[in-house]
Amino acid sequence: MADGMSGRLAGKVALIIGAARGIGAGIAERFHEEGARLMIADIEEEAGAATAQRLKGKFVATDISKPADADRAVEATLSAYGDLHIVVQNAGIYPWSLIENISPEEWDTVLGVNLRGVFLIARAALPHMKAKRYGRFVFTSSITGPRVTSPGHGHYSASKAGINGFIKSAALEFSAYNIAVNGVEPGNILTESIEKQRSEAFIRGMVESIPLGRLGTPRDVAQATLFLASDEAAYITGTTIVVDGGQTLPEGKDFRLGPA
């Protein structure tokens, strides 16, 4: 086996929502390398199907804000593989709007995907995992909301902080069935979406705020997600791993020591 690949998810079936591209695709790729059988679920059908084909998995079109779609994603996974061990809910949207300009409809859309989707997929997958007395949920939260924020992200921040609260409650409720519930909190991760939606100046400013001196990659988030999805994390539940290059550590701007 190549370096970094040890078959940690061999024999496991993973449903990854929001895996057509970006962080989700990075998670799917890493899971594939470790032997997982994949169901890719995404609202982007063409890109999602392409990712699934590349990683020898299956694809199901899914709007995770809709209960019927969440149920169908689980049903499609069980139909294709006969089992389900790991659920990752990574789908998320982040329109930029000041609070005074957020319409109730936009608020509901953001929380519908980011937060309601977490609840819906947990509810859909829970009966199977309870019956098996085994399961791993990993939810993509963010440092934005639980730890920091910036103007224009009121709804996004609320949704991600809500995910962290849900993780704790679900971990407690599901613990009797050997089901672990955890999350990752990415910082600024360089994805296609970030490159399209944010200016070069914005990206440079983010790099300057990160002690490790670079934006993260989808693979950086995938490594943490892999750990939480694996049996190496069997005694970890109800928590999150911050993947931010140290961004949330400094008290102010003048934090750099050593070589420039």
pLDDT of 233 > 70? The answer is: yes
pLDDT at residue 203 in the model? 85
Q: Give backbone dihedrals phi and psi of 20, rounded to 5 degrees, phi first.
A: -65, -35
Tens digit of each residue's pLDDT (9 = 90 or more) over 105-163: 999 999 999 999 999 999 999 999 999 999 999 999 999 999 999 999 999 999 999 99
Calculate mean pLDDT across residues 96-104.
97
Calculate mean pLDDT across residues 185-197.
85
Tens digit of each residue's pLDDT (9 = 90 or more) over 10-29: 999 999 999 999 999 999 99
Residue of 47 and 191 predicted with greater confidence: 47
pLDDT of 185 > 90? The answer is: yes
Calculate mean pLDDT across residues 209-230.
96
Say whether 156 is catalytic: yes
The pTM (predicted TM-score) of the whole model is: 0.94
pLDDT of 219 > 60? The answer is: yes
Please tell me which residue in 94, 156, 177, 235 is annotated as part of the active site. 156
- Spatial strand order in the sheet of 179-186: 58-61, 37-42, 13-17, 86-89, 135-140, 179-186, 240-243
Query: What structural domains does the chain harbor?
Result: 13-243 (3.40.50.720)
